[in-house]
Every structure is written in structure tokens, then in C-alpha cells.
């Protein structure tokens, strides 16, 4: 860049990275350059902490197990979402797998390589807490074991209590009601059915002489669920025998295949980067603990537990730097800033220009401010807040969005012409990114026109997913020739792994290049959305558009715990993930294709589906799946055909077990008639005077219509 400026403009400038600037200042003050820790080495230090150091501290090990067992998930209430559908979509994305199920899966994999089984799944976060509490305390349980007595009500399905404690012959139900006995996240009809179900279960146990113990959702909102559970268990003579946590830790956390554990490490790494970028030292953890601002007791416990883990990790990381005789990038920036503030004279500049300003961190901002205060230089920053995606490396978008607060009066110039994307694509992507009102308003313009810039390719099986991918590649060859360059984008580095299990796709190297045997000259590259920033391709295919904790958005990466080390919290749901998805959408010079699972679509996809110019391709779905009715209970899942243990077919929600809606009449899958009174289904019934249609929610809803 320095050579290009000198050749074209004939002026002398200093061009430096922040890395080079910091090193030069420290070298001038200390007469030698410090060794800087490579970013990959930070990952190694964190791995060593979990592999070795944690095993030496029972208290720390127990804290990690407790966090994973009960507090890994970010619990949100229905009040935090604009609509009930958005809240239910969040619940359905969580995938609540218990420690018991995870341990069984790991032990199975240890015995039989390449054989995987599904871990035990439960319906809700609170059930997850309960199941893991029982498991950690050596209490045997069976989840949703069939109750031994048949219901005496023909409208009720076979009863399955939440938990059965086999050693004590105790049945256990966790009811999702608030302190007033209400269920505000359900429709009136579903809430009435739920409440009637509670009373029926109580009377059914009483009739059959079985013991039922109960807990409630409001226990958790009050932060006392586990304490109440322990008290209730002891009152029923249930003995708590805590299991060996060290062995459990070895099984669950020291195996490298656990994706959630890897994401947890990334969360800790991001927290430490932001913490150090702020210039905080060890003593600031006391400030953080005293300033915990959580309105919900659950989040209060979660935050304190997280701090009890990240603090010793920070200490271990800092001591590792000392042992290695080096500093990290944040140390270097902070140290350089202190030297400038302490009087070290840097060359006087009239102008300072910063590129990629959207990636600025608090530490780099302070260094820039120190240099500016010393020299009186005018500041020019170039950046795009829509592409601020490096929070994990310490960047803080509020330094961009609140520029005047940090630097004073300024003039804003917008560059709104773009040459890569079509006008149709940037209209969609621009509307998508600006739903977060902290993003600066822009109206991008392009001379390029494409009628269908975004194509959503729905699939309902792994085979149909691969067929959709192959069809896209066939189409691209027809349009652009067999040497077309294609970018496959994933949210996570492992999002492409399943593709290599399919015939014809071969990993060409370790840099993401993929060879497709049908078109060996095609230039296909896989990379994460983060790595794609600044790059472009003839066409882009986004792989992971699933509603899942490790989907797109990745819900672990946007954890609100990071707000404690950001200048200002970003209150918009999945704000950084939204910017990252915007980056992924706009890497294409033509069309962006997105592979979309029909039954668990990302919240970003359900949003895009509403935009003009977004096409939805369903030809790879099973023909019977084209017009599947939505689940009337959660309003997010789709009804799918299932089979009971007795071989009977029924329709159930695709989001099971998070949503337990079922209906015995499978005709709703092909000819659903919606009840206008409550949203249930009108089903064929027999009455005194012949056939008629009655509501599936009977007796709560008594809507009927005559049949011809």
C-alpha cells in the first residue's frame, strides 16, 4: 500500500498495521522487540488449562460440570421476544441433551468406532437441569417412561410422566407454569388444555395409588429450582449419592469431538480478549462480580458461575505468558498506549487514517486516541459497521456506532455505490441488516441487475440435501462453464464435514479446496463466513441454515455474558450473527444459494422468506412434504408421520421432544382443515345423527361442522 500511494500520489506516508505500530513503540522504549504470542497458541493454552489444570482443582472442576449441566444454555423469557412464534423458535433451537445421554453416547463411541447413537433429549431447559441434577447425584431415572395404567379417557394419549425414579417408585412431573398458575407463552386453548392436564395427572395418580412429586417453572425464574428439587427429594426419602465428577469430566470434556465444549472454549477466549482489550487486570473481576446486573435469578447464578471459571483461566493464561517470556496482542497495544501517554514521542502526524475501522477494539482505540492527543492529528476512519464481525478478537462495534461520543464532532461521508452485488441482492441484504437499529442507515446502489439473487433450497433428508447441492453445481456449470469458482460457506469450520461422506466430493487440500468428480475443473472452496470477509466468488452456497445452538445464528457465540466486557451491550437478538450472515449473503457476484432444512429453519431464513426477490425451491422434498401443516401448539414445527411402539401411526411435531404435540388422525398430513375457532384441526367424528367434523381440541373447543 505504501508503494502504491507513493507511486500514484507522490507523497510520503507511513503505512503500518496496529501490530507494527505497537511493536515499533515498544522496541523504541525498551531497546528490543517483545515476543508476541501467536493466536493459535492462545488456543493451546486454553486446551492445556482444561486438559491438565482443571483436574487439579475439585472446586473448579465442579463449577465447569455444573455450568455444563445446568447453565450452558442462555435462558430467555417470552417477554424478550416480539412474538410468541419467535420465542417458541428459540426454545426449539436449543437441543436439550442430558449428561446421562451424552455419557452413554461417548461410552458407546469408545467401544464401537463409527457407531453413533442419539443422546437423551428432553423437552425444556428446566427438564435438562432436573435430569442432570438427578444424574450428578446418582439418582436413577427413566425419562417419559410409559405409566403402567391405561387412561380412562378416550381423548387422552398414553400417559408418560416426565421422570420415573425406579429405585423409589416415584413419579415426577415438572409443570411449566408461572407463580399464578398461568402459561403466557401458549395460546389460550393450549394453556387451558395444559392446566386441565395438570389436574387430570394429579387425579390419575391418586386413583391408581402412585406417588407424584412436582416442581414448577417459577421455581427456576426465582433461582431456586435445584434447591427446591433437593428439598422435595429428601422429603420423599430419596438419597443423594454424588457421582465421581472427575471421571465424568474426563469422559465428557477431554474428548475432542464435543462441539459444544469447543464453542464454550471460544466463548471464554472471546471474553478474555475483550477483557484485556479494555485494559483490565485481575483485580477487575471483583468489579465485575459486584456489578452483576441480572434481573432473573437464573442468569445471576449463571453469570457468577461463569466468572468463577473464566477468572482462573485468565490467571492461568497470564502465568503461561510469563513462563513463555512473551506478551499477546492486547498486551502489546496496551503497553504501547501507556508509553505514548507516559511521554514517548512518536513522529508527529498531521493526519491519521484508519482502514477497517469496524474492527477496532477498545485497546486500539485508546492507542489511537493517545497518538492523536499527542500530535493533534486529524483523524479519518474508513469502515463498514454492517461487517463488524470480529468480536471474538476484541472488536467493539459501539466504538463505531457511537463515534462522536468517543472522538467528538465529526463529518460522515457514505460510500453507497457497490459493484459486486446486484441491486436486488443489496436491497434484501440491506433491509435484513438494518433491522438492527444501531446499524448506520445506508442506501446502497448498483448498476447490476439479477431477478432472483437469493435462492433457498429446501431439503428434508441428507440425500435431498446433497441432491440440492449437486443441482446447484450443475446449474452453475450451465451458466458459467465447468471452471466456475464457487464458495461454500459455513458458520462453523465443521459445517462441510458431512459433504465428504457423499460420493463425488473429495477434500483436495487442507485449505478448503474441494474436488467434485463430476466437474473436476470446477473451483470449489469451503470456508467459514468469518474467513470469507473481503472475498468474492461467481456464486455462493451457504450450508448451515439450521435452527440450532451451533447453527446460523450460532447462539453460543452471541452469549450475553460478553456484554460485561463490551463498551455497551448490543441488545438486538443475534446482532453480531446477523452481521456475519449479511457478509455471507454478499460474497457472491451473482446468486447466493442457501441449503435450508425444511423442518428446522434458521430464524434468519424465516425472515428472508418474506422478502420479494427471494425464491424458495421445494423440488428436492418428498412430494408428500410440500404442504405440511404447521404444529398448532408451538406454531414453529411441522407435523410429520410417526409410529408408536405398538406400531400405530400418528402425526407429531417435528420439534419433538421440545414440543410434544401429537394427533392420532394422520389425515391432517394430507387434508388438514383448520378450526376457525381455536386453530386446531377439524376431524371426522361419528355422532347420533351421522358423521360430522369436530375440533381436535375437544373438549376445550366444541366447534363442529356438518358433513355432506
Query: Could you read off the pLDDT of 249-275 as tens digits, one per residue?
Result: 877 665 545 677 888 898 999 999 999
Q: Please, is 360 exposed, middle or buried when counting C-beta atoms within 10 Å of its C-beta (0-12, 13-18, 19+)?
A: buried
Q: How high is the pLDDT of residue 447?
A: 94
| Torsion-angle region of 647 (φ positive above 0: left; ψ -120 to 50: alpha; else: beta) | left
Q: Domain spanning 423-625 has what CATH number?
A: 3.40.50.300
Number of H helices, E strands in the chain: 24, 20
As given in the structure block, the three cell numbers for residue 111 are 467401544
Phi, psi of 333 (to 5 degrees): -65, -45
Q: How high is the pLDDT of residue 78?
A: 58
- Answer yes or no: pTM beyond 0.75: yes
Q: Answer positive or negative: Cα dihedral of 555, 558, 560, 561.
A: positive
- C-alpha angle 520/526/528, rounded to 5°? 175
Q: How high is the pLDDT of residue 91?
A: 60
> Helix, strand, or coil here: 332?
helix
Q: For residue 195, give the DSSP letter.
A: H
β-pair type (614-617, 513-516): unpaired
- Matching residue, cell 432472483: 452
Class of domain 2-33+328-407: alpha beta
Q: For residue 148, give the DSSP letter.
A: S
Would you state the torsion angle of the CA atoms of residues 620, 624, 626, 629, taken in this order, to the nearest 10 degrees? -140
CA distance 658 to 677: 26
Q: How high is the pLDDT of residue 257?
A: 53
For residue range 43-72, list pLDDT tens digits in order. 999 999 998 999 999 999 999 988 888 888
Collect all residues with Cβ–Cβ distance below 8 Å to 474 and sequence separation of at least 6.
Answer: 518
The neighbour count for residue 551, using CB atoms within 10 Å, is: 24
Q: How high is the pLDDT of residue 88?
A: 63
Collect all residues with Cβ–Cβ distance below 8 Å to 482 and sequence separation of at least 6.
Answer: 519, 521, 522
Q: Which of the residues in the chain have pLDDT under 50?
A: 103, 105-119, 256
Q: For residue 124, give the DSSP letter.
A: S
Collect all residues with Cβ–Cβ distance below 8 Å to 88 and sequence separation of at least 6.
Answer: 185, 634, 635, 636, 659
As given in the structure block, the three cell numbers for residue 469 are 447441492
Q: How high is the pLDDT of residue 501?
A: 84
Q: How high is the pLDDT of residue 4?
A: 79
Amino acid at each position: 500500500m505504501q508503494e502504491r500511494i507513493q507511486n500514484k500520489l507522490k507523497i510520503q506516508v507511513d503505512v503500518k498495521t496496529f501490530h507494527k505500530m505497537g511493536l515499533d513503540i515498544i522496541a523504541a522504549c525498551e531497546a528490543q522487540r517483545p515476543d508476541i504470542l501467536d493466536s493459535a497458541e492462545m488456543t493451546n493454552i486454553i486446551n492445556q488449562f482444561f486438559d491438565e489444570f482443571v483436574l487439579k482443582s475439585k472446586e473448579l472442576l465442579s463449577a465447569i460440570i455444573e455450568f455444563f449441566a445446568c447453565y450452558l444454555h442462555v435462558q430467555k423469557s417470552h417477554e424478550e421476544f416480539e412474538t410468541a412464534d419467535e420465542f417458541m423458535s428459540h426454545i426449539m433451537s436449543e437441543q436439550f441433551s442430558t449428561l446421562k445421554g451424552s455419557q452413554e453416547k461417548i461410552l458407546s463411541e469408545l467401544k464401537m468406532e463409527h457407531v453413533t447413537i442419539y443422546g437423551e433429549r428432553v423437552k425444556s431447559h428446566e427438564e435438562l437441569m432436573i435430569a442432570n441434577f438427578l444424574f450428578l447425584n446418582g439418582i436413577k431415572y427413566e425419562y417419559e417412561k410409559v405409566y403402567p395404567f391405561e387412561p380412562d379417557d378416550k381423548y387422552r394419549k398414553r400417559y408418560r410422566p416426565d421422570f420415573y425414579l425406579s429405585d423409589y417408585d416415584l413419579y415426577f412431573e415438572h409443570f411449566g407454569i408461572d407463580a399464578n398458575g398461568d402459561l403466557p407463552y401458549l395460546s389460550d386453548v393450549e394453556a387451558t388444555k395444559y392446566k386441565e392436564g395438570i389436574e387430570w395427572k394429579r387425579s390419575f395418580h391418586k386413583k391408581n395409588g402412585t406417588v407424584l412429586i412436582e416442581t414448577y417453572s417459577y421455581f427456576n425464574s426465582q433461582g431456586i429450582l435445584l434447591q427446591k428439587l433437593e428439598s422435595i427429594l429428601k422429603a420423599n426419602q430419596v438419597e443423594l449419592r454424588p457421582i465421581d465428577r472427575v471421571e465424568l469430566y474426563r469422559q465428557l470434556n477431554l474428548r475432542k469431538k464435543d462441539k459444544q465444549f469447543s464453542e464454550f472454549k471460544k466463548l471464554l477466549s472471546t471474553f478474555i480478549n475483550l477483557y484485556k482489550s479494555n485494559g483490565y487486570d485481575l483485580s477487575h473481576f471483583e468489579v465485575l462480580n459486584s456489578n452483576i446486573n441480572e434481573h432473573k435469578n437464573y442468569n445471576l447464578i449463571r453469570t457468577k458461575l461463569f466468572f468463577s471459571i473464566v477468572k482462573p483461566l485468565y490467571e492461568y493464561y497470564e502465568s503461561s505468558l510469563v513462563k513463555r517470556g512473551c506478551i499477546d496482542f492486547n498486551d502489546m497495544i496496551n503497553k504501547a498506549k501507556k508509553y505514548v501517554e507516559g511521554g514517548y514521542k512518536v513522529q508527529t502526524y498531521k493526519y491519521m487514517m484508519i482502514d477497517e475501522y469496524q474492527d477496532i477494539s477498545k485497546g486500539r482505540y485508546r492507542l489511537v486516541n493517545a497518538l492523536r492527543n499527542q500530535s493533534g492529528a486529524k483523524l479519518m476512519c474508513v469502515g463498514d459497521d454492517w461487517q463488524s464481525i470480529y468480536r471474538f478478537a476484541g472488536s467493539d462495534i459501539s466504538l463505531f456506532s457511537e463515534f462522536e461520543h468517543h472522538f467528538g464532532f465529526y463529518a460522515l461521508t457514505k460510500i453507497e455505490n457497490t459493484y459486486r452485488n446486484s441491486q436486488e441482492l443489496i436491497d434484501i441484504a440491506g433491509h435484513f441488516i438494518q433491522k438492527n437499529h444501531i446499524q448506520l442507515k445506508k442506501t446502497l446502489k448498483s448498476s447490476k441487475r439479477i431477478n432472483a439473487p437469493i435462492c433457498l433450497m429446501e431439503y428434508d433428508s441428507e440425500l435431498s440435501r446433497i441432491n440440492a447441492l449437486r443441482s446447484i453445481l450443475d446449474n452453475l456449470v450451465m451458466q458459467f462453464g465447468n471452471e466456475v469458482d464457487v464458495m461454500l460457506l459455513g458458520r462453523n469450520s465443521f459445517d462441510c464435514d458431512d459433504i465428504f461422506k457423499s460420493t463425488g466430493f473429495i477434500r483436495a487440500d487442507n485449505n478448503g479446496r474441494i474436488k467434485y468428480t463430476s466437474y473436476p475443473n470446477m473451483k470449489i472452496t469451503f470456508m467459514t463466513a468469518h474467513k470469507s470477509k473481503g472475498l468474492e466468488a461467481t456464486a455462493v452456497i451457504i450450508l448451515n441454515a439450521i435452527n440450532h445452538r451451533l447453527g446460523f445464528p450460532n447462539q453460543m457465540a452471541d452469549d450475553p455474558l460478553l456484554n460485561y466486557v463490551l463498551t455497551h451491550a448490543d441488545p438486538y437478538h443475534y446482532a453480531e450473527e446477523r452481521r456475519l450472515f449479511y457478509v455471507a449473503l454478499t460474497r457472491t457476484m451473482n446468486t447466493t444459494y442457501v441449503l435450508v432444512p425444511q423442518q428446522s429453519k434458521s430464524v434468519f431464513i424465516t425472515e428472508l422468506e418474506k422478502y420479494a426477490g427471494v425464491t424458495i425451491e421445494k423440488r428436492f422434498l418428498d412430494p408428500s412434504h410440500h404442504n405440511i401443516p404447521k404444529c398448532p401448539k408451538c406454531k414453529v414445527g411441522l407435523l410429520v408421520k410417526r409410529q408408536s411402539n405398538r406400531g400405530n401411526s400418528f402425526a407429531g411435531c417435528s420439534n419433538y421432544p421440545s414440543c410434544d404435540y401429537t394427533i392420532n388422525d394422520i389425515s391432517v398430513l394430507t387434508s388438514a382443515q383448520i378450526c376457525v375457532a381455536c386453530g386446531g384441526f377439524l376431524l371426522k367424528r361419528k355422532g347420533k345423527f351421522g358423521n360430522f367434523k369436530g375440533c381436535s381440541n375437544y373438549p376445550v373447543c366444541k366447534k363442529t361442522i356438518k358433513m355432506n
